[in-house]
Structure formats: C-alpha cells, structure tokens
Structure 1
Amino acid sequence: MRAVMQANRRRDTKPEMAVRRLIHARGLRYLVDAKPSPTLNRRADIVFRRARIAVFVDGCYWHGCPAHGTVARSNATYWSQKIGRNRARDQETDRLLRQEGWRIIRVWEHEDPVAVADRIFAEVRAAHHRQPTSSNDPD
C-alpha cells in the first residue's frame, strides 16, 4: 500500500500541467502547490493570491468522481474509507477557505483542459475587476 501511495504525484500531474500551460499562455501568473492561507495546512494545485482564488484539480479515483471513480478490488474497505476521508477533507477545505474570502475552483482530472482554463481565466479577470489596482503583483 505504501508503494501505491508513494507512486502518486502530489503535483505536476498531466491534467494539472495541461491546465497550467493554457492559463500561463493566456498571461496568468500563479503559485503552484501552495497554501492559499497561512492559517490552514492545506495546499491548492494553483493559487492566485491577489485574486484570492484556489484551484484544485482532483483525481477521479482519489476524490471519488461520480462518473469515473472506481472501487478497489483489494482492501476495498480501507480504500473506500480513505476516499471518503479525502472527500470530507475537500469539503472542509472549501468551507474554511470560503470563510477567509477565497473563491474555490474544483475540477476533475477528466474535464477538458480548455474549458477549465476558460473558467479560471474568467474568474481571475472578474476578481481583478472587483479589486482596485494598487500594485503590479503577478496574478
């Protein structure tokens, strides 16, 4: 089980990289695998600090995608509980970040990267239009 967990990447997955390439090409700058909030020990895949937007690209298996999530064949009880805990942590993370004024974008790994990039771009631009411009910080 340990080997399975170690073989999975925490960052730079193919779906995440596809989205990052697209939003970077559109001129957006962001932090990768970063804590949106210093008070919360959770990391987002893509963070726009000034816009206060945290993006999570969730894996279908690890986060229990209703369309593509699968049931483990061996040690099914453990994996079912693990995925349940992941989903509960995701919901708690969203709630805590929203309480701090963050906008959350959660997407599944199977979603079209272009559509995801469009959504992120629109959210970041809308956030910048809501804020007075006072600095040249990236994002």
Structure 2
Amino acid sequence: MKRTILFLILSSFFVINACGPKGPSENELLREEVIAVHDEVMPEMGKLKSLERQALEKVDELADQTPTDSTKIQEFKALAYDLNHAHEAMFAWMRQYEPKDGDQSPEELKKYLDEQMVLVSEVNEEMKEALAKADDLLK
C-alpha cells in the first residue's frame, strides 16, 4: 500500500513537471532581442525630425550669408538628408516587420527573425550615426 501511494505521488510529480510551463523558446528570445534593438532608438524618432528641421534652418540661414555651394551648406544639407533617411528607414522596417509567427515552421521563423535582426540593427546604427553627426554639427 505504501509503495502504491509513493508511486502515485511520484508519478503525479513527473506528469505535472512534464506538462508545466517551459521557458521561452529560442525564437521567442530572438523576437525579444529584435524588439529590444528597435526599442533602443524608437524614442529618438521625434528628435530626428526636430534636428532635420534645425539643419534645414541652418541651410537657409547660411544661404543668405554665403554662396550656395558653400561647404558648410552642403554639410547641413547632408545632415538633413541623413536624419530624414534614418527616420524613413525606421518606418520602412516597422511596416515590413511581421510581429506574428503565422504558419511558419520554427526553422523558417528563426531565419526570418535572424534577417530582421540584421535589418533592425542596420536601422539602429543609421539612427545613432545620424544623431551623433547632428550633435557635432548643430552645437
């Protein structure tokens, strides 16, 4: 009798542990990493547009004072372009990103998420470079 009770308790323990919640899958962790890269620079989106306006204002201001082919004017135009491009790149990435797994196999999903990590990392880096360039030129 004691063996039967012990057997039932142990069996129940193993069944409960086997059916219990498991940690996040590799793909879930990868998705979280992709979103974390996105979330790192997403708060800077408004700043990109603000700095772009400042750079264009500087172009207008300098155009009144110097020839239009001035190196400084070209630097501020390039900065405005870089800031706008970084802003648009983030929106382009967000439009094409699929937050749902759909009916992809785990292997297909991993490949997709690996590709997304590369893309969002490039956008992240582009935004950081544009912001750093703005910090240097718009002081």
Q: TM-score of the superposition, structure 1-length normalised?
A: 0.29
Which is helix-richer, 1 or 2? 2
Which structure: larger Rg?
2
- Relative CO higher for 1 or 2, CA cutoff 8 Å, sep ≥ 6? 2
| TM-score computed with the length of structure 2 as normaliser | 0.29
